[in-house]
Structure 1
Amino acid sequence: MSARIILRPLTPDDRSIWQPLWDSYCAFYKVALPANVIDGLWEKLTGGDPAIHGMLAQNPDTGDALGLMHYVLHPHTWSLKTVCYLEDLFVTEAARGQGVGRALIEWLAGKGREEGWFRLYWHTDEDNATARLLYDRVAGPATMVRYAISLTK
C-alpha cells in the first residue's frame, strides 16, 4: 500500500464499498442488525442528516476500501460548543497497523479543532486490545467507565 491514504466523506454512490466494511464491523462486535436499520443508517449517513456523518479510507493506488468512520455531533451540558462522538471506526484486517485508524482519528480531531468543537470522544470494548493500543497512543488511557441500559427488547 502507498504511504498515502485517501480520506473522504461517504457519498450515495458508495453503498457497495461501504456495505462490506459495515458488515465486517458488525461481525467483529457480533451484532446482526435488521436490514431496515442498516438502510436507515445509510440514509442518515448520505442523506444530509446534520448530526451523523461517515468517512471512508481508501488506498489511492487501487481504490480499495481500507476503513470507515461514523461520527455524531451533539450539544453538551458543560459547553456551548459542539461535541463529537466517534461512534464507529473500522479498519480492514489487511490494512491494520498501517496508520489508517490513526489517520481517521487525526482527521476528525483536526476537523474539530477547525470548527471549534468542545471534545471528541469514543469508547471500545475492554478486550479490544488492538484498538486500545492505538487509542492509548492517540488519546491516552481512558479514565471514564461506560454504563448502558438497553431500552429495547
Structure 2
Amino acid sequence: MIKGLYETHLFVENLQRSIDFYGKVLGLKQCHYEEERRVAFFWIGKDKQFMLGLWEKPKEEIDVRHFAFECEPDWILNESVNFLKSRNLKCRNFLNDGTERPMVFAWMPAIAIYFDDPDGHSLEFIGILDGEGKPENGIISYDRWIELEKDVP
C-alpha cells in the first residue's frame, strides 16, 4: 500500500536564503513559489517523484528537523565530501568523531554523511549498500564494512 515518502516540509527563517541553498547549493529544481504564503517547493529526483516544501516562519517558531536525501553509495563514498566542501558546507559523520568520512550503518546496510542547512536542519546523504544487514557491527567505517563483507562465506 505505502510506496514511499512523497513530501517533506521544513520551516525556515529566511525563505530566499533557503531557496538559494536548496536550489543553487544543493541543485534541487524549484517547482512552485507563493509569495503570499511565503512558501517554495522543490522536486527531489525526477519531477513529481519527491517534494520538499519550505515555509517561512519566525525563528522562534522553527524546530530543527532531520531528513535524508537518497544518493548512490559510490557518489557518497567518493564525491559527497568534496561536493559539500566546494559549497562551503561542513560535513560530519553520524559518530561526529571529527572526521569527514562517510560511515556505514551496518544494520541496513547504508553509507551516509551529514551536513546542516542555513537554519540548522540536519541533512544527510544516504545510499543503500549491497549485501545483508549486520546489526551486530554497529556503525563502522566503509573500509571495515568491506573487510567484513570479504569474510562472508
Is the radius of gyration larger for structure 1 or structure 2? Answer: 2
TM-score (norm: length of structure 2): 0.26
In proportion to residue count, which structure has more strand? 2
TM-score (norm: length of structure 1): 0.26
